[in-house]
Structure 1
Amino acid sequence: MQFFASAVTTLQTLVVALGAGLAVWGVVNLLEGYGSDNAAAKSQGIKQLMAGGGIIVLGTTLIPLLSTLF
């Protein structure tokens, strides 16, 4: 059981790190869009930022619930 709890913690860390990476990439695209006055890059950046935030929320709320399954 300890192994499963450790695996859930590791999975949570990986999902949150993936979401944070996507959010940072979105901020970079957003700033690049503002710098070059590119509407498409701004749109892409805000979508990536929101998707990264959503993945972080899922990682912090949904993944810990896996440990209560067994």
Structure 2
Amino acid sequence: MEFFATAIDTLKVLVIALGAGLAVWGVINLLEGYGSDNPAAKSQGIKQLMAGGGVILLGTTLVPLLSSLF
């Protein structure tokens, strides 16, 4: 059981890190879009930022629920 708890904690950290990386990439694209007045880059940046936030939310809420399965 301890192995599964450790694996779930590691999975939680990895999912949150993936979401944070996606959100940071979105912020970079968003700022690049504002800097060059490019609406396509702004749109892509906000989509990536929101997707990163969603992945972080999934990592903090759904991944810990896996521990109740074991």
- Report the TM-score when normalising by structure 2: 0.99
Instruction: Give 2:4's aligned residue.
Output: 4
How many positions carry a matched residue from both structures? 70
Cα displacement string for residues 18-53 of structure 1 (whole angstroms, at most 9, x for unaligned residues) = 000000000000000000000000000000000000
Deviation at 1:60, TM superposition (A): 0.1
Look up the match of 1:66. 66
Structure 2 counterpart of 1:51: 51
Q: Give the corresponding residue for 1:25.
A: 25
Give me the TM-score of the superposition, normalised by structure 1: 0.99
Instruction: Give, in whole Å, the separation in 2 of the partners of 1:32 and 1:67.
Output: 40
Runs of 4+ with deviation above 4 angstroms: none
* Structure 2 portions without partners, runs of 5+: none
Structure 1 vs Structure 2: percent identity of aligned residues? Answer: 81
